[in-house]
Structure 1
Amino acid sequence: MTPGIPDEYFIRGNVPMTKEEIRALSISKLRLKEDSIIWDIGAGTGSVSIEAALISKKGVVYSIEKEEEGIALVKENIKRFNVENIVVVAGEAPDALLDLPSPDRIFVGGTGDKMYQIFDIAAAKLKEDGIITVNGITLDTAYSAHNYFKQRGYSVQTICVNVSVSKEAGDKTIMTARNPVYIITAKKREG
């Protein structure tokens, strides 16, 4: 399976899911290794967890989700994709992060209203040379995440991704735009 697994391959419900194009870019920004320890905060359906687990086959993905429907969907998708290196963490960040092992990589797909508290714990527990990738759909999230990590000495890059997908309209094809997504990547510097 290659990165950017088609969305329709996942069991979906009413919880958010990182779309395949954004997922592929976000995962590429994480620079996963075969043995990476990864946190997926706000896992939703588990699409990022699944792809990360398939790449980091000798590592472990901690899939953190607070919603009951999301937890069930992550578990269903784990079975569907037959991955064994995902640990589902049922709980709300930041509290659900406290007892997890220190990660090499962190993906933040959702923070609710606890972004800074989550970032504080993530920054404290992230290993040297670790990478955090944050997806946001608002300018506020992009600015806040970029600024937070920059002020703490991380190497930070923010990109804005605009994706349009073809759709049949009678005998013609049109392009339908999806919401732009900001992908903020922060690399922890040695020190």
Structure 2
Amino acid sequence: MTWPYVTAGIPDDAFERLPGIPMSKRESRVLILSQLCLKKNSILWDIGAGTGTVAVESALFCTEGQIIAIERDEEVVGLIQRNGERFNVQNMTIITGHAPDCLAAIVPRPDRIFLEGGRPVDVVLRAAWDCLAAGGRLVTATNSLEGFYRMVQTLGALQARKVEVIQSAVNRLETRGIQQVLVALDPIFILSGEKP
């Protein structure tokens, strides 16, 4: 399978999934990718990569860069690998490890980080921030108020610049029986900031 476009938004059903493994939905992924402000040569760490949707789409944009997907679950690592192969991604490396413990040993160092996993999130965020290059961007997402508060507090304590918060509420048109209805996706908070 290929994605012949230069825009984000690969449909969710184009990715292989595993039961119980969360996936960044297409509409949320588009917002996440826009907040990452990727360049062709960006080095992105996707911490808590899950199904690998953000990592795969980022790899398609960062043709001269490198994407490092970090995931603790070995079965899920295989899923990310298969999703990368579906889109013929050549510039993605998958690291099996627990954040924040594995982060210090990973090279190359990133100029972009997407964080959607790891507990406790504030500890993982601080460790990721320490690895981020000066001038780099960190984007994080959560659907819980507790996660949102921790992320806001941590970005503030780290003196992140250009902090932005997006709270998305998305509805999709679906066919149910003979009717078409709008179905709400789970709301998500997307936070971003730059390292001085």
**Same fold, TM exceeding 0.5?**
yes
The count of aligned residue pairs is 188
TM-score, normalised by the number of residues in structure 2: 0.92
Structure 1's unaligned 5+ residue stretches are none
8 Å CA contact 1:44, 1:74 repeated in 2: yes
**SS class of match (2:56):** helix
User: 2:57 aligned to 51, 62, 66, which one?
Assistant: 51
Q: Runs of 4 or more off by more than 3 Å in structure 1?
A: none
**SS class of match (1:166):** strand
1:5 aligns with 2:10: yes
CA distance in 1, matches of 2:115, 2:37: 15
Structure 2's unaligned 5+ residue stretches are none
Give runs of aligned pairs for residues 32-71 of structure 1, distance below 5 A: 32-71=38-77
Aligned to 2:88: 82
8 Å CA contact 1:32, 1:55 repeated in 2: yes
CA distance in 2, matches of 1:80, 1:166: 27
Amino acid across the alignment from 1:174: V
CA distance in 2, matches of 1:73, 1:102: 24
Give runs of aligned pairs for residues 111-130 of structure 1, distance below 5 A: 111=118, 113-130=119-136
CA distance in 1, matches of 2:189, 2:79: 25
8 Å CA contact 1:131, 1:188 repeated in 2: yes
User: 1:107 aligned to 114, 125, 130, which one?
Assistant: 114
Percent identity, aligned pairs only?
36
1:27: Cα distance to partner?
0.7
Amino acid across the alignment from 2:155: F
**SS class of match (2:22):** coil
Aligned-residue RMSD, C-alpha: 1.1
1:120: Cα distance to partner?
1.8
1:172: Cα distance to partner?
2.6
